[in-house]
Amino acid sequence: MTLTIAVNHESTTAPYEQLRAQISERARSGGLPVGYKLPTVRGLAEQLGLAANTVAKAYKALEADGVIETRGRHGTFVAAAGDAATRRAATAAAQYAEEARRLGLSREAAEAAMSEALRAAYDS
């Protein structure tokens, strides 16, 4: 399997964001299987005609999203994105619940605030 990425240099979307979006979509759709080894930052930058910092920025964002994971000198691999995303969401939800409780909000008020935040994020 070969990673094929197309960066449109004429696009108003930043190259790192194009790279991040394409890798993320392919990983989440199964086009890039869990455990697939991605090219090195330098190698992919050279292949795409981008600066290494651009690819590094995309990889860093993907890692923060839980889509990829870096295993030191072994390389960068597609992670079990759904599992990582679910874990991060659960952690954030637990932190929110604890903060709402500390603030003295009722369960109903905390749920209403969360519901409104989700509506704003997903319905915009």
Q: Which pLDDT score, from 0 to 100, does residue 82 have?
A: 60
Mean pLDDT of the chain: 90
In angstroms, how far is the first alpha carbon of the chain from the final one? 37
> What does the pLDDT look like over 57-96, one tens digit per residue?
999 999 998 899 998 889 999 987 566 667 677 778 888 9
Residue 68: CA atoms inside 13 Å, Cβ hemisphere, count?
29
Over pLDDT 70: what percentage of the chain?
A: 94
Q: Which pLDDT score, from 0 to 100, does residue 101 have?
A: 93
Over pLDDT 90: what percentage of the chain?
A: 63
Least confident of 44-48, 53-57, 88-92, 100-104: 88-92
pLDDT at 19 over 60: yes
Q: Which pLDDT score, from 0 to 100, does residue 81 have?
A: 57
Hey, which bits of the chain come out as E strands? 37-38, 68-70, 76-78
Q: How far is CA 28 from CA 31, 39, 50, 76, 79, in A?
A: 8, 18, 24, 16, 10
